[in-house]
């Protein structure tokens, strides 16, 4: 199993450009998450999905959109990138919501710089 993979690994954008980050998991997990990691702030949840075709907002959703058309994929979109979105983005998945007990499995991250 490849686990959770993220594409691309690195990206540099100019302000106002758009892009999509792809997360894929091969563990048949129901739940998927997008986080951003910034120095001194830990990981903050952007959006999450509790199943194919569903999405919900997390702690810091502004400026991002997501889609979960297939169970194994979770896409994160930036419509008009801003320097404040410079960050490392992590995708994670978990098997099923065991009332908060399940382990989340993380991808290797995407380092995004917005100039």
Partner 1 sequence: AQSVTQLDSQVPVFEEAPVELRCNYSSSVSVYLFWYVQYPNQGLQLLLKYLSGSTLVKGINGFEAEFNKSQTSFHLRKPSVHISDTAEYFCAVSDYGGATNKLIFGTGTLLAVQP
Q: Which residues bind partner 1 (CB under 8 A)?
A: 4, 31, 33, 40-45, 48, 50, 56, 58, 90, 92, 94, 96-109
**Nearer residue to partner 1 within complex by CB, 18 or 103:** 103
Instruction: Give 17 or 37: the residue with its C-beta nearer to partner 1.
Output: 37
The minimum distance between CB 78 and partner 1, in angstroms, equals 20
Q: Residue 31: helix, strand or coil by DSSP?
A: strand
How far is the C-alpha of 67 from the C-alpha of 21, rounded, in Å? 11
Q: Smallest distance from the beta carbon of 100 to partner 1, in angstroms?
A: 4
Dist. CA 19–CA 111, nearest whole Å: 13
């Amino acid at each position: 199993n490849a686990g959770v993979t993220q594409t691309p690994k690195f990206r540099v954008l100019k302000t106002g450009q758009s892009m999509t980050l792809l997360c894929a998991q091969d563990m048949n997990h129901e739940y998927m998450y997008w986080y951003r990691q910034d120095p001194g702030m830990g990981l903050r949840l952007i959006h999450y999905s509790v199943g194919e075709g569903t999405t919900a907002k997390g702690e810091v959703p502004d400026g991002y959109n997501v889609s979960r058309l297939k169970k194994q994929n979770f896409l994160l979109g930036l419509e008009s990138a801003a320097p404040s979105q410079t960050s490392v983005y992590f995708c994670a998945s978990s098997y099923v919501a065991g009332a908060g007990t399940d382990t989340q499995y993380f991808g290797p991250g995407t380092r995004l710089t917005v100039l």
